Amino acid sequence: MEADSQSHLVEGICLPLLRDAQNADGGWGFRPGSGSRVEPTCWVLQALLNASQSDADAVTRGFGFVRQAQLTDGSWPSTQGETTGCWVTSLACWTLTAAMDSPQIVAAGLNWLCKDWPRDSTPWQRLLRRFSTQRDIFPINDSYRGWGWTPHTSSWVEPTSFALLALEQAPKDLLPAAATRRRQLAESMLRDRMCAGGGWNCGNPKVYGVPGEPLVIPTAWALLALRAHPEWPENEMSLDWLEQNISKIQGPGSLAITRICYETYGRTWPAGAPELRDLHAGNQFLQSIQVAAWACLASGPRPRWLSSGGANAV
């Protein structure tokens, strides 16, 4: 019964929405009728690649959109017209790795990624911080370094997780020399930024002495990025936090990513937990293409990019 309703959600609602929403340029926007952007296009491609029915033409055109959106420095911008790359570079590399026909494009993206150091932890910023009267407001170990949402800003949990997943998925021969060091620093950064009782928020475990509240989506992405180390206490505590909070999830995006994460760690989805079909009934996912793609990934077979258990584990 549950399988039928999940199947109806994917095959009857989400996949038709995704197929109908592809733009003439091959990409997808965040909502039907919106202009194509790299981020939703990558999520839709992941969902279509995972679907049982072949969408070869749509996928080919989607990959074409992602390839042509790359900037000359190897990065990808968040929106057309923007000339600076950002975190969607991780998603693009990760998605194009699945195409297996764009090694140079992926290599250029990974190279940009490994050169994109966050600004908050440069030697100069760390020195300034030592002498700052505000250094205790936001107590973190700034020798650890992940990735920011945009260049020359601070390390945050989600873009760091995406970058780790991109580096993990890439064929070893495409990885820049700095990749191993970047991954080690980033994993340490994630562990350092975990909230006191498990789970992650955007990356502020404590501000002004007050412990930060974890959030579902950053927790799930961090756990997926760190899944090669299920024995780490941070992973165990955060999985427990997630389990305790599944019943309170009200957003389908959070629920879909949680389900992917939870099943990746081999846990059984708790009886009585919210179901995507019920949340869809409330607001129809706010017509979000990205959430529909995540729902497909959560309801279908385990995504291929999670089956390796961390192909390039550090």
Partner 1 sequence: MPRIRPAATLAFLWGRERGLIMRNQTLIPSFQRPSSSVVIRRAASYEHDLASLIYESLEVFKLPVKGKTVLLKANLVGIDPLGVMNTHPAVIAAARESFLRLGAAHVLVGDGPAMDRDTEAIVESVRLREFTGPLGRDFVDLNVDDVERVPLKTHASRLKELYLPKTTLGVDFLVSMPKLKTHHWAGVTLSLKNMFGIVPGSCYGWPKNVLHWAGIDRAILDINAVARPDFAIVDGIVGMEGNGPIQGTPKASGVLIFGSDPVAVDATCCRIMGLVPERIHYLSRAGTLLGHLNLDKIQQLGEEISSVRTPFAVLKAFQEVAA
Residues within the interface to partner 1 (CB under 8 A): 29-31, 34-35, 37, 39, 78-79, 81-82, 86-87, 117, 119, 122-124, 134, 148-150, 152-154, 156, 158-159, 201-202, 207-208, 210, 212-213, 215-217, 249-254, 279, 282-283, 285-288, 290-291
| Least distance to partner 1, CB of residue 57, Å | 25
| Least distance to partner 1, CB of residue 127, Å | 9
| Least distance to partner 1, CB of residue 210, Å | 5
Measured distance CA(248)–CA(110) in Å, rounded: 37
Q: Which is nearer to partner 1, 86 or 108 (CB)?
A: 86
Q: Hunting for tokens 């029915």 — which residue is that?
A: 53
| Least distance to partner 1, CB of residue 100, Å | 28
Measured distance CA(296)–CA(13) in Å, rounded: 10
| Least distance to partner 1, CB of residue 153, Å | 4
Q: Which is nearer to partner 1, 109 or 251 (CB)?
A: 251
Measured distance CA(194)–CA(202) in Å, rounded: 10
| Least distance to partner 1, CB of residue 244, Å | 15
Q: Are the beta carbons of 225 and 190 closer than 8 angstroms? A: yes
Q: Which is nearer to partner 1, 106 or 291 (CB)?
A: 291
Q: Which is nearer to partner 1, 93 or 99 (CB)?
A: 93
SS3 per-residue string spanning 234-290: HHHHHHHHHHHHHHHCCCHHHHHHHHHHHHHCCCCCCCCCCCHHHHHHHHHHHHCHH
Q: Specify the amino acid at residue 174.
A: L
| Least distance to partner 1, CB of residue 125, Å | 10
| Least distance to partner 1, CB of residue 4, Å | 25
Q: Which is nearer to partner 1, 99 or 292 (CB)?
A: 292
Strands 206-207 and 210-211, bridge-based pairing: antiparallel
Closest CA to 97 of 293, 301, 288, 303: 303
20 to 7, 9, 28: CA distances (angstroms): 18, 15, 10
Measured distance CA(261)–CA(239) in Å, rounded: 9
Q: Which is nearer to partner 1, 88 or 93 (CB)?
A: 88
* Exposure letters 253-274 (e unless 16+ CB within 10 A, then b): bbbbbbbbbbebeeeeeeeeeb
Q: Are the beta carbons of 169 and 141 closer than 8 angstroms? A: no
Q: Which is nearer to partner 1, 120 or 187 (CB)?
A: 120
157 to 192, 201, 261: CA distances (angstroms): 10, 7, 15
Q: Which is nearer to partner 1, 144 or 310 (CB)?
A: 144
